């Protein structure tokens, strides 16, 4: 099973788009998304230096546009991707590229949102001097305890041996003087404490814009940064992306879900390397492919053919599907099981695992067409549970 990944801020390097923009089709598509972002992204991806593209307002639109247009090079017909990709995930701002790739939102909507996300996060970062420091190695529990002791937030949990602490510069300085045992600290070149409460003003701004965005159920399972859950309903995908601006990225849980899905290969969109590097350390036995230049496309397509399989999700204009957000045992709600019509937000049951119990809701409600699992069945992330006919549909 194939998972496609979209990298987050910090993955960009000077000139990474130069070979891609030699292709006229790529250049034309990229220019279109640049106009939506109201930025000369071709310049930033070819000529600008590292300090310039570190700017949050530049880096975020640059990364999302690069991933979206490169995906069209890999899958010239989007339906090819739907038939091959088992799930998508993005790290931080990469979630917008993943959501557009899964067709929960359009590419244009993604570019408007990332433009505003970058601006709002840059403005929030200026309010208080904040930053982020990578903590490499050390005992996990000791690292997390030390982060909490100094009032910091584990803003990125990227798996064994890699946690990113975030907070004020004063807190980070104190933390550096009292580092956890056997851990190395590496200050990151970022504008502020992303994925913490310091970004709350950006959440408010983007949330207001997102309320006006029309969404669709994802064509491919989307793995959420918040908790590694598989998300299917478009509004929920977008709501999580907005709230994630001020909440930690749990990439460790995203990788757990990929393994639960039975992933055999992960392909990272350009500029690639960061997420495939993490996968090599944390997901032993899973093949990786870092797509960085167009001369890799033939090999990337071979990789897709080797690992790709059709997603469990399918779409129809006459019914909706409720899917499992996680691995576990499905316990059906008695009232839902006896109902022919479910109201919006009705709970249909829970997914029970050793870790927790996750309620599953029919966000839109509708007439019950078919239960696809029985009470007590073991289910996988993204597995269809219930088919509904929308209320009021012809």
Give the CATH number for residue 97. Answer: 3.40.366.10
Same domain assignment for residues 181 and 203: no
Same domain assignment for residues 17 and 50: yes
In a domain, residue 6? The reply is yes
**pTM of the full predicted structure?**
0.88
Q: Which of 333, 313, 303 has the alpha carbon at shortest distance from 234?
A: 313
In a domain, residue 394? The reply is no
In a domain, residue 114? The reply is yes
Same domain assignment for residues 203 and 101: yes
Length of the chain: 394
Separation in Å, CA 28 to CA 15, 42, 277: 18, 10, 31
Q: Is 195 part of the annotated catalytic residue set?
A: yes
Q: What pLDDT does residue 314 have? A: 55
Q: What pLDDT does residue 392 have? A: 52
Same domain assignment for residues 203 and 350: no
Sign of CA dihedral 335, 338, 343, 348: positive
Q: How many domains is the chain built from?
A: 3
Same domain assignment for residues 280 and 152: no
Provide the residue range defining the domain that includes 136: 127-187
Catalytically annotated residue among 34, 91, 92, 324: 92
Which residue ranges in the chain fall short of pLDDT 50? 317, 393-394
Same domain assignment for residues 229 and 364: no
CATH code of the domain in which 369 resides: 2.40.50.100
Last residue of a domain, one of 187, 208, 234: 187
Query: What's the half-sphere exposure (Cβ side, CA atoms, 13 Å) at 228?
Result: 22
Catalytically annotated residue among 91, 195, 205, 307: 195
In a domain, residue 313? The reply is no
Q: What pLDDT does residue 311 have? A: 64
Same domain assignment for residues 231 and 299: yes
Same domain assignment for residues 133 and 76: no
Q: Which of 364, 371, 367 has the alpha carbon at shortest distance from 337?
A: 371
In a domain, residue 110? The reply is yes
Q: What are the pLDDT digits (tens) for 261-277?
A: 999 999 999 999 999 99
Same domain assignment for residues 133 and 120: no
Q: What pLDDT does residue 335 have? A: 95
Q: Which of 173, 161, 326 has the alpha carbon at shortest distance from 260?
A: 326
In a domain, residue 315? The reply is no
Same domain assignment for residues 85 and 133: no
In a domain, residue 105? The reply is yes
Same domain assignment for residues 132 and 231: no
Q: What pLDDT does residue 309 have? A: 83
Q: Is 77 part of the annotated catalytic residue set?
A: no
Mean pLDDT of the chain: 93
CATH code of the domain in which 147 resides: 3.30.70.250
């Amino acid at each position: 099973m194939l998972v496609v990944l979209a990298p987050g801020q910090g993955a960009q390097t000077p000139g990474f788009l130069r070979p891609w923009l030699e292709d006229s089709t790529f250049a034309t598509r990229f220019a279109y998304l640049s106009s939506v972002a109201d930025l000369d992204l071709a310049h930033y991806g070819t000529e600008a230096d590292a300090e310039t593209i570190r700017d949050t307002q530049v880096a975020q639109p640059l990364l999302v546009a690069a991933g979206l247009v490169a995906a069209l090079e890999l899958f010239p017909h989007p339906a090819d991707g739907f038939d091959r990709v088992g799930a998508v995930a993005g790290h931080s701002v990469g979630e917008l590229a993943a959501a557009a790739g899964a067709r929960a939102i359009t590419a244009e909507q993604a570019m408007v949102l990332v433009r505003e996300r970058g601006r709002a996060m840059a403005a929030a970062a200026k309010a208080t001097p904040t930053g982020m420091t990578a903590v490499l190695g050390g005992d996990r529990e000791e690292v997390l305890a030390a982060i909490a002791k100094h009032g910091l937030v584990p803003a990125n949990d990227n798996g064994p041996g890699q946690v990113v602490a975030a907070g004020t510069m004063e807190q980070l300085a104190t933390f550096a003087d009292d580092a956890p045992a056997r851990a190395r600290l590496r200050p990151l070149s970022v504008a502020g404490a992303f994925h913490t409460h310091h970004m709350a003003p950006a959440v408010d701004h983007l949330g207001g814009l997102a309320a006006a965005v029309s969404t669709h159920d994802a064509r491919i399972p989307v793995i959420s940064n918040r908790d590694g859950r598989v998300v299917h309903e478009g509004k929920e995908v977008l709501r999580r992306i907005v709230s994630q601006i001020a909440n930690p990225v749990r990439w460790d849980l995203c990788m757990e879900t990929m393994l639960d899905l039975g992933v055999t290969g992960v392909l990272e969109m350009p500029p690639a390397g960061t997420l495939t590097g993490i996968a090599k350390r944390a997901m032993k036995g899973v093949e990786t492919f870092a797509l960085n230049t167009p001369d890799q496309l033939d090999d990337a397509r071979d990789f897709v053919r080797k690992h790709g399989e059709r997603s469990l999700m399918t779409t129809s204009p006459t019914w909706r599907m409720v899917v499992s957000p996680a691995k576990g045992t499905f316990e059906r709600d008695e009232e839902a099981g006896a109902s022919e019509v479910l109201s919006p937000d009705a709970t249909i049951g829970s997914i029970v695992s050793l870790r927790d119990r996750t309620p599953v809701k029919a966000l839109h409600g509708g007439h019950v067409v078919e239960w696809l699992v029985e009470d007590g069945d073991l289910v996988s992330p993204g597995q269809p549970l219930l088919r509904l006919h929308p209320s009021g549909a012809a």
